[in-house]
Chain A
């Protein structure tokens, strides 16, 4: 990414170089801001660029990132999935609930239920042609309700015992990074290949670019749309299960408002809410940007909680404004 930042100094003053630079900034604006913030943070706070601290940011971000991966696909098709926060929490509670049948059941149960959740939402959206916003809003409430019914209105917290395979995976680390971080990276690599190099990925972009045109070109619109919601459900459930493994318990109060963080991360990463454009690498940058902003606010320390939200909101607004501005400049040329 440093190459992007230094580009103006090296690139010839021709229009081509210019356009390329603006294009890069629009697509990778989040990465550029991330690099800048990390640099400023490292200079300003000695406790920021430590292995422990960066490892914490990585593990905390990994769960949000996994959910955001599914959301990226959904948003590129021009849809939205508001249910991910509740499904994330449901996945965690189901994992802890499923521990009574062993670690594999504890992983399969949330995947099955959350995948099915995504399937139903996908069918309602693609087949019955209901608005994604409404369907997944109902999903948000439904998944939370299911969670409450399993956990006794939230009063019972199921535990994932120490030493079980699932707990060891959630809590273990190698080279200062937790196992879930590596899994997230692998998922993103797979996601990038799926989106950029396969027919399915091309269909996702085509639907976001224009659903009717895609239909006319012979793109399997219904199937592709159902699949992206299934993916989103599966990934949210998986992230919830791994998070529960890390916490050793199916905490019932998780995930409220998480869908907004996820959508913010995806959009900051350069994916257009209108669909048709975006990348999974941008999403990673978006997620990390949220994590680093949060971390830096804590480094500053003496901010009252209300102003913390003002500052993080301000940060995000700046990123989005810069991005929009750059994309407009690019279009004018």
Chain B
């Protein structure tokens, strides 16, 4: 009879050890990233003029004022910190919170499962978060969260992707890049790389969010206008992941051998494409690749010619998110969108700038 209870204790002890060990590891890893973050210093810069005049105040939104130094802020990340963009984004939020001495920052990760992210945010609300910073996985489907948050007058700031809802009513504001503009700039780079003529394949991002839609539309619209000689002959989703990018590109080489350009809507897919092209015995520059994000891995492929250009999408949201939040709490008016300026990497600056990539 002592056997089961002892094994129960053992199980509990094992679980406890596991948890503590994991927490320890996680901590040291985060600290390292935070340190690396500080030395880089390529922070986000707000575009001027940035859209509408600021009009959303705390009284108009109906939130309750609180002190950031003693309050609780919830951060919901959408995907596992397994790619450079998410790693840099989470590290930036956490290190900025530490720097500012935010009372409690509670962070969750949706692990790419939308229902998990919804329940994560609901849990943050239940745990007493007074403000929320959300990196949404999907643009639609936020109803349960928005209802609970508005019942408790909790301000929400979304970063990097948008929620399909009303600014200053359902959420305060969105901080992020102009993805349509990124698509257009990628098209300009593609036109330059191809000399205005050729056949282009597009690796689309994950479906169901505004990033993919805008990066696609911006690219197509700009091509139509600037270079009617360039045709898009292939497009397929590769879910923003490197494996899928490689897989889809392998199929592409078989089905459309005459393609001369490839537009990947993020760096990871672009790097997957590079691997696929190398595997198929292609040479650097044979197919011109343009990607979006600005990760160190992608930018360092520019000098060798495997990637022609990278349009940046700056993931260091920490400083701007907390600055916007504290302005809002101090009663200042906030615009419905805070759009940041992104840089570009090509053969002219890649070597010098690779150190500021994330």
The residues of A with any CB-CB pair to B shorter than 8 Å are: 8, 11, 13, 18, 21-22, 25, 32-33, 36, 40, 47, 50, 52-53, 56-57, 60, 63, 151, 153-155, 157, 159, 167, 171, 243, 246-249, 251-254, 256-258, 294-295, 298-311, 314-315, 318-319, 321-322, 325-326, 329
Residues of chain B within 8 A (CB-CB) of A295 are 123
Residues in A with CB closer than 8 Å to B109 are: 304-305, 308
Contact flags (1/0) for B96-131 with A, using CB distance below 8 Å? 000000000011110111111011101111111000
**B15-34 to A contact mask, C-beta < 8 Å, 1/0:** 10011001101110110000
Taking CB atoms, residues of chain B closer than 8 Å to A306 are 80-82
Which of B191-199, B206-214, B254-262 is found at the contact surface with chain A?
B206-214
* Residue with the greatest number of chain A CB neighbours at <10 A, chosen from B2, B29, B126: B126
Q: A305-B80, A305-B82, A309-B111 are in contact. Are A300 and B118 (CB under 8 A)?
A: no
Residue of B27, B115, B139, B212 near A302 (CB, 8 A) is B27
CA distance A306 to B80 in the complex (A): 7
Interface centre among A171, A252, A319 (most CB of B within 10 A): A252
Number of B residues with CB within 8 Å of any CB on chain A: 59
**Secondary structure of the B contact surface, majority rule:** helix
Is B54 at the interface (CB under 8 A from chain A)?
Answer: no
Shortest Cβ distance from residue A294 to the other chain B in the assembled complex, whole angstroms: 7
When A300-B19, A318-B15 are in contact, do A307 and B116 touch as well, CB less than 8 Å?
Answer: no
State whether A60 touches B119 (Cβ < 8 A). Answer: yes
**B164 CB to nearest chain A CB (Å):** 8
| Known contacts A252-B208, A253-B138, A253-B207, A8 near B5 by CB under 8 Å | yes
The chain B residues found within 8 Å of chain A, CB to CB, are 1-5, 7-8, 11-12, 14-15, 18-19, 22-23, 25-27, 29-30, 77, 80-82, 106-109, 111-116, 118-120, 122-128, 137-144, 147, 206-208, 212-213, 237
CA distance A41 to B63 in the complex (A): 31
**Does B23 contact A47, Cβ atoms closer than 8 Å?**
no
10 smallest CB-CB distances across A and B, nearest first, come from A154-B207, A247-B141, A248-B143, A52-B126, A305-B109, A307-B22, A304-B26, A60-B119, A249-B140, A53-B126
* Residue contact B128 to A47, C-beta cutoff 8 Å: yes
Chain B residues with Cβ below 8 Å from A40 are 12
Q: Which residues of A contact B124 (CB under 8 A)?
A: 298
- By the criterion CB–CB under 8 Å, are A298 and B126 in contact? no
Q: How far is the CA of A308 from the CA of B81 in the complex (A)?
A: 11
Residues of chain A contacted by B81 (CB below 8 angstroms): 304-306
In the complex, how many angstroms separate the beta carbon of B325 from the nearest chain A beta carbon? 19
Contact partner, A154, options B107, B122, B141, B237, Cβ 8 Å: B237
New A-B pairs, 7, CB < 8 Å, besides A56-B119, A319-B11 = A8-B2, A53-B126, A155-B212, A157-B208, A252-B208, A253-B138, A303-B22
**Chain B residues, Cβ within 8 Å of A302:** 23, 26-27, 30, 107
B27 to chain A: which residues have CB within 8 Å? Answer: 302
Given A171-B147, A305-B77, A315-B15, A8 contacting B1 (CB threshold 8 A): yes
Q: Which residues of A contact B12 (CB under 8 A)?
A: 36, 40
State the CA gap A319–B8 with chains docked (Å).
10
Q: Which residue of A lies closest to B33 (CB)?
A: A304
A246 touches B18 (CB 8 A): no
A120 to B139, CA, bound (A): 34
Q: Please tell me if the beta carbons of A318 and B19 are within 8 angstroms of each other in the complex.
A: no
B19 A153 Cβ-Cβ under 8 A: no
Residues of chain B with a CB closer than 8 A to A57's CB: 119
CB < 8 Å neighbour of A171 from B1, B106, B114, B144: B144
Query: Which of A18, A52, A298, A318 meets B11, CB within 8 Å?
Result: A318
Q: Known: A8-B4, A253-B206, A302-B26. Is A53-B80 also a contact (CB below 8 A)? A: no
Report B-chain residues with C-beta under 8 Å of the C-beta of A322. Answer: 7-8, 11
Contacts of A32 in B (CB 8 A): 8
Known: A21-B4, A253-B114, A302-B27. A314 touches B15 (CB 8 A): yes
A249/B7 contact (C-beta < 8 A), A47-B128, A53-B126, A299-B127 known: no
Give the nearest-CB partner of A296 in chain B. Answer: B19
CB B6 to nearest CB in A, in angstroms, measures: 11
Contact status A254-B114, CB under 8 Å: yes
Residue of A nearest to B146 (CB): A248
A254–B4 CB distance below 8 A? no
A-B contact pairs, 23 of them (CB 8 A): A8-B2, A11-B1, A36-B8, A36-B12, A50-B126, A52-B125, A154-B237, A157-B208, A248-B141, A249-B143, A251-B141, A294-B116, A294-B119, A302-B23, A304-B30, A306-B82, A308-B111, A310-B22, A311-B22, A322-B7, A322-B8, A322-B11, A329-B3
Q: What is the CB-to-nearest-CB distance from A261 to chain B, in angstroms, rounded to a whole number?
A: 9
Knowing A60-B115, A305-B111 touch, does A153 contact B143 (C-beta < 8 A)?
no
CA distance A252 to B140 in the complex (A): 10
- Specify the chain B residue showing the minimal Cβ separation from A307: B22
Of all chain B residues, the one with the shortest Cβ separation from A17 is B1
Q: Which of A159, A243, A249 contacts B115 (CB 8 A)?
A: A243
Contacts of B120 in A (CB 8 A): 298
With both chains docked as a complex, state the minimum distance between the C-beta of B17 and any C-beta of chain A, in angstroms. 9
Establish whether residues A318 and B14, one from each chain, have CB atoms under 8 Å apart when the complex forms: yes
Decide: A254 and B115 in contact? CB cutoff 8 A: yes
How far, in angstroms, from A326 to B8 measured CA to CA in the complex? 11
Q: Which residues of B contact A246 (CB under 8 A)?
A: 143-144
By the criterion CB–CB under 8 Å, are A247 and B8 in contact?
A: no
Least CB separation from B107: chain A residue: A301
Is B208 in contact with A311, judged by CB distance below 8 angstroms?
no
Report B-chain residues with C-beta under 8 Å of the C-beta of A11: 1
A243 to B116, CA, bound (A): 12
Q: Assuming A8-B1, A21-B4, A246-B144, is B23 touching A300 (CB within 8 A)? A: yes
